[in-house]
Amino acid sequence: MDARAALDAHEERPEARISRLAATTSPESADAAAEGAALEHGSDAPLSTMDVWRAARARRKALRAEIRRFTQRSRRRRIVWLSAVGSVLLLIGGSLAAAYSPLFAVEKITVVGAKTLDAGAVETALAGQLGTPLALVDTSAVKAALLSFPLIETYALEARPPHDLTVRIVERTPVGVIRSDAGYSLVDAAGVVLSTTTDQPAGQPLLEIAGGTSSSAFESAGLVIRSLPADVRGALTGVRASTADDVTLLLDSGLTVVWGSSEDSALKGITLAKAIGANPQAKTIDVTSPHVAVIG
């Protein structure tokens, strides 16, 4: 029986040996199986066309398995990447669609920073933006509406979803009034006329500037007035200047202050305050030199 079993093993059919060898994990093994079977049986057990076809099929099957094994990880990464990109695009698209929809329309306009101005009047002037999506607020129309308020120097819009539009304004700071045939025109340091009245506004000094609001003398006087200490600014009744270097201040106490140019105005203000405190009866104080006050 042992000899018979050994003989049977030796005479194993070629197709069985090819199938067994082709079951390995690489295509090269399948080719080796077919070639090995052919060499082993030689002329005693010639391979038929069917045997070769089976070996080729086993090789293709092993090749496909190898390809799937090596590409499975890259396919998985590609699927994850495409899914992430798709999610981001969907989120962005949804956000843009919502931002431009009536879901985020303006329902309330709030003006912040108004001191002299009537905030309610500004809000009324911007009422045309009510019902407009926050992302589609017409900035040109807002600018045109705010131009009717000369006191507004700068402004900024802030969208506060879902329905609030905030307008932050900075008002112009008046420096005094200029007298003309039309009355008294209140102006800021840039020479912008803020209002015109028949009577001089209380608390605003009269500006007598050579060359008007477009001159260097006016520019220098405006810088000086804006740099004055609060107590001196409150006592100011008049400002004169023929050039940028000879600004003179008049206080309600009758004191005349020769200021000079706008340079070192902060230091001149400190020097003036000390001089007034030490010489309350002085008629004139010259602070042209910021370090030494000349009392007269």
Residue type, 132: T
Q: What is the pLDDT of residue 31?
A: 46
Same domain, 22 and 54: yes
Binned at pLDDT 50, 70 and 90, residue 78 comes out as confident
- Output the average pLDDT for the chain: 81
Same domain, 20 and 56: yes
Among candidate residues 66, 93, 120, the one where a domain is terminated = 93
- Other Cβ atoms within 10 Å of 2 Cβ, number: 6
Q: Per-residue pLDDT tens for 207-243? A: 999 999 999 999 999 999 999 999 999 999 999 999 9
Judged against a pLDDT cut of 50, whether residue 198 lies above it is answered with: yes
Judged against a pLDDT cut of 80, whether residue 288 lies above it is answered with: yes
User: What is the chain's percent helix, strand, coil content, to nearest 5?
Assistant: 50, 25, 30
Tokens 């020769």 sit at which residue?
Answer: 258
Q: What is the pLDDT of residue 154?
A: 94
Region 15-37 average pLDDT: 45
Among candidate residues 93, 116, 133, the one where a domain is terminated = 93
Among candidate residues 64, 93, 122, the one where a domain is terminated = 93
The range of the structural domain enclosing residue 41 comes to: 2-93
Same domain, 151 and 229: no
Region 22-51 average pLDDT: 50
Q: Which residue has the higher pLDDT, 2 or 270?
A: 270
- Hey, what's the torsion of the CAs at 213, 216, 217, 223, to 10 degrees? 90
Judged against a pLDDT cut of 60, whether residue 143 lies above it is answered with: yes
Q: Per-residue pLDDT tens for 239-268? A: 999 999 999 999 999 999 999 999 999 999
Q: What is the pLDDT of residue 8?
A: 44
Same domain, 125 and 205: no
My answer on whether omega of the bond before 150 falls inside 30° of 0, hence cis, is no
Q: Per-residue pLDDT tens for 148-171? A: 999 999 999 999 988 999 999 999
Burial of 41-70, coded b for 16+ CB within 10 Å and e otherwise, reads beeebebeeebbebbeebbeebeeeeeeee
Q: Which residue has the higher pLDDT, 95 or 183?
A: 183
Q: Which residue has the higher pLDDT, 40 or 111?
A: 111
For residue 139, what is the domain's CATH number?
Answer: 3.10.20.310
How much is the pTM?
0.62
Judged against a pLDDT cut of 80, whether residue 117 lies above it is answered with: yes
Q: C-alpha distances in angstroms, 111 versus 48, 105, 167?
A: 95, 18, 5
Judged against a pLDDT cut of 50, whether residue 146 lies above it is answered with: yes
DSSP state of 212: G
Tokens 């600014």 sit at which residue?
Answer: 233
β 183-188/174-180 pair status: antiparallel
